[in-house]
């Protein structure tokens, strides 16, 4: 399940094994709220547009991967989520920082019932990242995952990303052991992107 304002910008044939930076949405790209269900609730965090522009200039594709369990819980209509994502994409494009794709998981958090398997799509599952790589010929070994919670970093590691980074811009503080679950912790997306770019390997072929 995926949606994105420029979803087809990626190479569907996989003829170019390009690298991507996978980004969490709430608390990483936009201000985190209990529920974002309207376009006017989309508030891009400071420095985000510039960070995305820098990644794109280096050749990285930008893919958002976000958990949206409000859908399965009946609190958010899929059409409203699409409108929110359209607003996010339009706002970033207007700032010269377009997204390539947005993937979301409507699955609920892992249930307590032992008979029910945890979702492979919902982070910390790697499903959304693996789907994006398969559909668009992305090289996960050259890609990075950036988010604001340990589940984001774990999703990146499970997908085989080169690096999984965390930022401190989410509402919830990072747990004490966050440094053990990520390859780096930064104040914001700009700091994480500077780390990515400092690795030196070109993103494209």
DSSP string, 127-162: HHHHHHHHHHTB-GGG-EEEESSHHHHHHHHHHT-S
Q: What is the pLDDT of residue 156?
A: 98
Least confident of 4-13, 148-157, 166-175: 4-13
* pLDDT tens digits, one per residue of 106-122: 998 866 544 456 788 99
Residue-number span of the structural domain to which 108 is assigned: 2-198
Q: Please give the Cα distance from 73 to 53 (Å, whole number).
A: 35
Q: Is 24 a catalytic residue?
A: yes
**8, 11, 24, 188: the active-site residue:** 24
Tell me, yes or no, whether 167 lies in a domain: yes
Instruction: Name the percent of the chain lying above pLDDT 90.
Output: 79
Tell me, yes or no, whether 204 lies in a domain: no
Q: How many domains does the chain have?
A: 1
Q: Please, what is the Cα angle at 14 between 146 and 58, to 5 degrees?
A: 45
Tell me, yes or no, whether 205 lies in a domain: no
CATH code of the domain in which 97 resides: 3.40.50.1000
Q: Please give the Cα distance from 139 to 176 (Å, whole number).
A: 31
**8, 26, 112, 188: the active-site residue:** 26
Residue 10 has pLDDT above 90, yes or no: no
Q: How confident is the model at residue 16 (pLDDT cuts 50, 70, 90)?
A: low
Q: What is the pLDDT of residue 116?
A: 58
As a residue count, the chain comes to 205
Tell me, yes or no, whether 203 lies in a domain: no
Task: Please provide the average confidence, as pLDDT, over all residues in the chain.
Answer: 89
Least confident of 48-57, 112-121, 147-156, 171-180: 112-121
Q: What is the pLDDT of residue 110?
A: 66
Tell me, yes or no, whether 123 lies in a domain: yes
* pLDDT tens digits, one per residue of 69-103: 899 888 999 999 999 999 999 999 999 999 999 99
């Amino acid at each position: 399940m995926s949606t994105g304002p420029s979803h087809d910008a990626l190479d569907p044939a996989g003829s170019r094994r390009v690298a991507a930076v996978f980004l969490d949405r709430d608390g990483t790209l936009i201000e985190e709220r209990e529920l974002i269900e309207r376009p006017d609730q989309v508030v891009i965090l400071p420095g985000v547009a510039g960070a995305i522009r820098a990644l794109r200039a280096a050749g990285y594709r930008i893919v958002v991967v976000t958990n949206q369990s409000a859908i399965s819980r009946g609190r958010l209509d899929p059409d409203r989520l699409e409108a929110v994502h359209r607003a996010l994409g339009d706002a970033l494009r207007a700032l010269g920082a377009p997204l390539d794709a947005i993937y979301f998981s409507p699955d609920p958090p892992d249930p307590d019932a032992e008979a029910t398997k945890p979702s492979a799509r919902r982070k910390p599952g790697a499903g959304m990242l693996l789907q994006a790589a398969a559909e668009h010929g992305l090289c996960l070994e050259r890609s990075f995952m950036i988010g604001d919670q340990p589940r984001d970093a774990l999703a990146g590691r499970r997908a085989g990303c080169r690096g999984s980074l965390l930022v401190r811009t989410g509402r919830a503080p990072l747990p004490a052991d966050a440094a053990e679950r990520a390859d780096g912790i930064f104040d914001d997306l700009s700091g994480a992107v500077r780390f990515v770019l400092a690795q030196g390997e070109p993103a494209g072929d």
